Amino acid sequence: MIIRHDLKLVFLHVPKCAGKNLREILVETAPTGQLEELWNYGYSNILHRYVDFAHLPLSDLYCLKEYDYLNRYKVFACTRNPYARLASAVNEYYRQKTKEEESKVNRGHLTRRMKKS
pLDDT tens digit sequence for 69-112:
999 999 999 888 887 777 777 777 776 677 777 677 667 776 77
For residues 102, 18, 28 and 37, what is the CA-based torsion angle, rounded to 10 degrees?
A: -90
What does DSSP assign to residue 6? T
Question: Residue 42: enclosing H or E segment and its boundaries?
Answer: strand 41-44
| Statement: residue 27 has pLDDT above 80 | yes
Assessment of whether the complete model's pTM goes beyond 0.85: no
Residue pair 2/26 in contact by the 8 Å Cβ criterion:
yes
Q: Summarize pLDDT for 40-62 with one digit per residue, the tens.
A: 889 999 999 999 898 888 899 99
Residue type, 102: E
Which is more confidently placed, 33 or 19?
33
